[in-house]
Amino acid sequence: MLLHDAEIAKVCSDLDVFMPYVGEKRRCLDSGVRAISYGLSQAGYDIRLSSEEFIVYHKRDFPKKLPTLDPKDQTHGTNSPLVHGVSGSYFTLPGNSYGLGTSLEKITMPTNVIGICDGKSTYARCGVIINVTPIEPGWIGHLTMHIANPSPFPVKIYANEGIVQVMLYKLSNNVDKPYEGRYQDQSSKVHLAVV
């Protein structure tokens, strides 16, 4: 069963699912700058991109030979600097590249709920594709996100603003074996593939 706003608010107040938690949809930062919406929505929770770290993978960083990306050895990315502008703080994602970032919120998923993630439509309208795996019951940490820019144009990816909507589905019972994998307790730094 997909949870709606009142049910999400109840689960979050009982269990601290998203920390920090914003119990309403916000469209401005505390500074008053307009923001890509974040917080509780009608049928989900919009998490924000952390300003902590953003790693970009782009062919311009490899002028002689493109590396073969290997999920068992991801050492080829470049840290992207955070830029502070009038419209907010952002990372620049070059055209035909992708980046890895993390959620600002620490997530503690209950053992009877699974989170399904989808990119915000604001970024989809710029051609940006955001890929995030489901948040398994019992998983804890800052979520690592894959943000792809298949267009030839650079795109600003705003930190501390909405990036992904998490839709929460209640399971009929608690799972027998909560998540205990290699990505448990991720910090706010980007976590590369672990095999």
For residue 30, tell me if it sits in a domain.
yes
For residue 183, tell me if it sits in a domain.
no
pTM score, two decimals?
Answer: 0.91
Which pLDDT score is estimated for 147? 97
pLDDT of 69 above 90: no
Mean pLDDT of 74-95: 88
Q: What is the DSSP-derived secondary structure letter of residue 12?
A: H
For residue 193, tell me if it sits in a domain.
no
- The tally of domains found in the chain comes to 1
Give 102-139 pLDDT, tens digit per residue: 999 999 999 999 999 999 999 999 999 999 999 999 99
Which pLDDT score is estimated for 108? 97
Please give the share of the chain, as a percent, with pLDDT higher than 90. 77
What residue type is assigned to position 158 of the chain? Y
For residue 35, tell me if it sits in a domain.
yes
For residue 148, tell me if it sits in a domain.
yes
For residue 191, tell me if it sits in a domain.
no
Nearest to 104 by CA among 55, 24, 162: 162
CATH of the domain at 163: 2.70.40.10
Q: How many helices (H) and strands (E) does the chain have?
A: 2, 13
| Domain region containing 40 | 5-62+72-170
Give 16-37 pLDDT, tens digit per residue: 999 999 999 999 999 999 999 9
Residues 159 and 136: their CA atoms lie apart, in Å, by 25
Contact 129, 119 (CB under 8 A): yes
Which pLDDT score is estimated for 75? 66
Give 136-177 pLDDT, tens digit per residue: 999 999 999 999 999 999 999 999 999 999 999 999 999 999
88-93: strand order across its sheet = 83-85, 88-93, 155-158
For residue 146, tell me if it sits in a domain.
yes
For residue 144, tell me if it sits in a domain.
yes
> For residue 190, what are its two tokens?
């980007």
